[in-house]
Structure 1
Amino acid sequence: MCRWFVVKVGFAGLGVMGFPMARRLLEAGFQLKVYNRTVEKALPLKEQGAVVASSPGDLASDVDVYITMLRDADVVEKFLIGEAFFKARSGTIFIDMSTVYPDFSVKMASEAERRGFSFLDAPVLGNVDAAERGELKILVGGRREVYERVLDLLRVMGEPLYLGASGYGSRVKMIVNHILITTVSNLAEALALTRSLGIKPETIMDIMGKHPTGRALEYYWNRMLPEKTRAKFYIELAAKDLMYIVETGVRNRQELPMASSALQTYTKASKTIPRKDYTRIIEILK
């Protein structure tokens, strides 16, 4: 018998990342209740024993832990403040694993605690392959005693890293996303220039491979070369994350010219080539 069998978990958001995360919890022995706006995405989990909720509020009515893995802060707020906080039992632990801006995480923690709940911001690093293997990096902000209560649960999905008070998980996720997304944007521009100058991409990679950062650069460069690349992180989500990064910079009076430039590129790409992997911005630079 799994040692977590008494814990009932609610999971909202069964998208590219959320589905494999929820499935791992179910396979680990947790009692799982799920909700997704497109109910068809929940049916495979129902066949494995999960209960399908009819609404975000219904999902909250009888669970010990309520996890959100949603598209953006607006959707998270609609699910929680709009419904779940009215239906959840006192003492419920809410864990938001979505990528949102730090001030929002602090706001949600305050709203949850005011109602007798606990709240952690716990965005993740890694793609769908890491989610399927349970190898995500989970960046956690909130009260440490709450973090320790759900540590075993989080370990089913990856490696939890406690970073401090509410909002610190989202802060670190924002910084890491800034590095990754602007790096991809710069590489795409460099690849476009490489082609326009009649140089083989392999020549540049052979040279850069000898650089200390060569392996990381090679990984992203190679994802840009094939015309068909499995989408692991959608272009429009990268644009959304860059918008949060730039807005946070403005709030903190920090200039972010590279993020601002990348936001323009990804905003254009999200309108012209949506639902493609974020490395495919090379297509609008041809």
Structure 2
Amino acid sequence: MKWGGSVSKTFIINTAAFKTPDCQSLNQLSKISEAKQLGYSAIEIRNELLTGDNQELIAIATKAKELNIEVYFSVGDVLFSNNELNPKLSRYIEQMHLLDSRNLKINLGIFDSTNQNNLVEQLSQIIDNSYSIYIENNQTPIENDLQQTIEFFRIIPKTFNISYCFDIANWEWLNTNVYNAAKELAPVTRYVHLKNISDKNGKKEVTSLSQGILDWQRLIQILNMTDKFGFEYYAEPDILKSDLALVKHSLL
């Protein structure tokens, strides 16, 4: 399938793209202008790089609005913890609203699929169709089992504004064939996290799109219900710009 010109697509840069591997912190507010200059239509703010100050969130929202760039919010935590809805979720939703964002990305975690009614009831307490929740696969196998993910999307009502963010590289850490996973999750995937991976002497490393072993073009063709494309890897600005052009060209 090819994407026609009438399909609106969002190109998102995750702030991990600006953080060098040896740096522990990042002023995400200062990167909004750079994201805009590189040609991205949205920036994804990472929860773990925030200071915890609400004023920082408001400042990010204000700057993004000034530059007309959309804000996404990435939380490095799980939706379900010990078979219950994560008690920290209310704070994450509050942070998302302070960022003036309508997009919250989080990992699935572990839930009890045998108690469908309880699971749906818990989710209904936080579901608000004014924003979207994206479930993403991180690099922790127990939290991202493919069959459990498929079961989760089978159980939840279609009316819930929850879909999948498919990180194409993280499956290498989950011992799951990425192309098979893409075929299974394509119907519920509305967001793709793009990056590539190299395997040097048994050591996996995230790379820019043109350097790794994954056929990312094939993957975004499989994931053809997607209209959001995120870039989540550190690279020099010229690479981030050229990789964006590569992806846009592949979608013509």
Q: Name the TM-score class by shorter chain.
A: 0.3 to 0.5
Between Structure 1 and Structure 2, which shows a larger proportion of helix residues? 1
* Bigger Rg, structure 1 or 2: 1
Q: TM-score, normalised by structure 1?
A: 0.30
